[in-house]
């Protein structure tokens, strides 16, 4: 779950909140096409400054990964999530011996708070 840090959501309350949720409703989104060029300009050097606060922070509660961060870090990493959402569903059916599509965020990218790496993966079927 991606959350802006200003919401001050306490991931430790997730199990309680999830228990009160109803069935929800399906929603769809339209992603920009492969030729989309409106990408954010990323200042890679600034990420390594000590005062940089634009980091993802991870919390795992009730089998859910929460990633909190600023609008800037969401903007800078959106291409990773779009890549998986855009290419994963088409990739998996034509590669039956490699049934997932993935990307990674690395510690040397300068965007992860305490994690060394985050592996973002699309699978058609998840093992229980």
Taking only the tens place, the pLDDT of each residue in 78-123 is 888 889 988 998 898 898 888 889 999 988 888 888 878 888 898 8
| pLDDT over threshold 70, residue 51 | no
| In contact, 65 and 56? CB cutoff 8 Å | no
Q: What is the pTM of this model?
A: 0.67
Strands of 25-116, DSSP E:
57-61, 64-69, 100-106
* CB proximity list for 44: less than 8 A, separation 6 or greater: 110
Strand order in the sheet with 64-69: 2-4, 64-69, 57-61
Q: What is the pLDDT of residue 99?
A: 82
Q: What would the two tokens of residue 70 be? A: 């600023």
Q: What is the pLDDT of residue 25?
A: 87
């Amino acid at each position: 779950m991606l959350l802006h840090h200003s919401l001050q959501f306490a991931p430790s309350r997730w199990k309680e909140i999830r228990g009160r949720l109803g069935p929800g409703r399906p929603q769809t989104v339209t992603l920009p096409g492969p030729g989309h060029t409106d990408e954010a300009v990323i200042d890679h050097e600034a990420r390594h400054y000590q005062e940089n606060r634009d980091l993802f922070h991870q919390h795992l509660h009730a089998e859910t990964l929460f990633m909190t961060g600023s609008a800037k870090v969401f903007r800078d990493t959106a291409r990773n999530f779009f890549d998986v959402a855009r290419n994963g569903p088409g990739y998996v059916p034509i590669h039956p011996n490699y049934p997932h599509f993935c990307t990674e965020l690395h510690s040397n990218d300068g965007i992860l708070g305490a994690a060394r790496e985050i592996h973002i993966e699309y699978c058609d079927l998840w093992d229980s």
